[in-house]
Amino acid sequence: MQDFELVKSIGADKVIDYTKEDFIQKQVKYDIVYDAVMKLKASKSRKILKNNGVFLNNSRLPKIKEEDLLFLKNLIEKNKLKPVMDRTYSIEEIVEAHRYVDKGHIKGNVAVTIFDE
């Protein structure tokens, strides 16, 4: 599955290829901008956000509270949030898991299991 198809399959309304489209120059405004590859500065994102819009990237995620986790749990149970798992490693394979993630080409989450059930 292509990256764009994957992102749309989990609920994104619009996916932008920043290498092909200068979306900052367009007049379109968004409620949420999530910069998955951390190429957009927060200051530039203001041009494309609605008044109460939110800019997020992997280093600017808000502090998670218990009610946030319960909200996410509810979305998952209602099949409105679809986590994407790329690979799972055992704790003994932690070095390989880090190497895989460090390559920068993951397509979802990488999990490490601590205990076998």
Q: pLDDT (tens digit, 9 = 90+) per residue, 97-110? A: 999 999 878 888 89
Alpha-carbon gap, residue 15 to 40, rounded angstroms: 14
pLDDT tens, residue by residue, 33-77: 888 777 788 788 888 899 988 888 877 677 888 998 899 899 889
Alpha-carbon gap, residue 87 to 32, rounded angstroms: 28
Q: What's this model's pTM, rounded to 2 decimal places?
A: 0.53
3-state secondary structure of 29: coil
Alpha-carbon gap, residue 27 to 47, rounded angstroms: 9
| Contact between 85 and 109 (Cβ < 8 Å) | yes
| Contact between 75 and 97 (Cβ < 8 Å) | no
